[in-house]
Homo-oligomer: A and B are copies of this chain.
Amino acid sequence: MYSSTRIAICGAGPSGLSQLHAFESARQSGSQIPEIVCFEKQNDLGGQWNYTWRTGFDEYSEPVHSSMYHNLWTNLPKECSEYVDYPFDEHFGQPFPSFPPRSIFYDYIRSYAGKNNVRQYIQFNTVVQWISYSENKQKFHVQIKDLKKDKVRSEEFDYVIIATGHFSTPNIPYVDGIETFHGRILHSHDFRFAQDFIDKHVLLIGNGFSAEDISLQLYKYGAKSVTLSYRNKPKDFKWPDKIKEVPLVVKIDNEIVYFNDGSSETVHAIIFCTGYLYYFPFLDDNLRLKLSSNCFYPPNLYKTIFWLNQ
């Protein structure tokens, strides 16, 4: 039933699962499919949606993948996140809001994976450490670590699908004087609960989706004030009283933060909502995206999916 072609899929999040689902559906329809192996470093499927209380490193000293916080709600209308081969109607059996909470969407993803029994293809607690391509062999050489057994091995594949996402490795720029700041500094990647900021003056650097959502959570859970520092232009929402937007932060001196309009604030905590980096440390140089900053259409990916050899 399987051809001799081998395909590695890195990551069992929404995208990796979609690949697995497509191959398994083809197999169940009687097609011959390649041999598929999906490597997932976490102990379960779901990628970002596999929420964890941990920050920094996981129990195997791998960087924590998920940037989810406890009370995250999706920020895209649900229709943008629907699997074409698993309609929401089939899963939920009833209408539900456009912006579901994290746990509901996770339930949908897990059910999608369970429906077609794609777990059979996934090796959990298994991280891909290095991928290179051999022109001679016309194969990908993949170095894999079994985290539970603490054992490294190598395998060869004809194709590799990278489905590890790019909202895991935080971008944390330097701000002049930040080393003098005595409060908590974190990136939204490590934000888990708004309750920890009750009665605090909080500075959010950035005014994208994360800053928008986290500022409202901080407000709801009782932060004393929230200041959003934007790079280019303000959102100019009708923010609640306790939230305001200011221009870019230019300097920090102990607890005082200065902005480029000359204004300043005294704050207790700084949350960087400054986005994520394209980061594929397990890919050989000649297989890897190299971008100076985030962009929607990376130049070396045909249709933003297929890697073009240079």
Contact = CB atoms under 8 A, between A and B. Distances in A.
A182 B70 contact: yes
Interface residues of A, number: 43
A59 B178 CA distance: 14
A55 B64 CA distance: 13
Overall SS of chain A's interface: loop
A290 interface: yes
Nearest to A277: B61
A183 B170 contact: no
A277 B150 CA distance: 13
Contact of A63 (B63, B193, B277, B285): B63
A185 B285 contact: no
B285 A57 contact: no
Contacts of A61: 169, 277, 279, 281
Nearest to A53: B179
B183 A53 contact: no
B181 A53 contact: yes
A266 to B, nearest CB: 13
A173 B129 CA distance: 24
A268 B182 CA distance: 18
A152 interface: yes
Given A151-B285, A184-B184, A57 B170 contact: yes
Contact of A57 (B59, B63, B173): B63
A174 interface: yes
Interface in A272-310: 277, 279, 281, 284-285, 290
A58 to B, nearest CB: 8
A279 B61 CA distance: 8
Nearest to A170: B57
A134 B192 CA distance: 45
Interface string A60-86: 010100000010000000000000000
Interface string A163-197: 00000011011100011011111110110110110
17 contacts: A53-B179, A55-B56, A55-B185, A55-B186, A56-B172, A56-B187, A56-B189, A57-B169, A59-B174, A61-B279, A150-B290, A151-B285, A152-B285, A182-B193, A182-B195, A182-B196, A183-B193
Give 4 nearest A-B pairs by CB, closest first: A53-B179, A182-B195, A182-B193, A184-B196
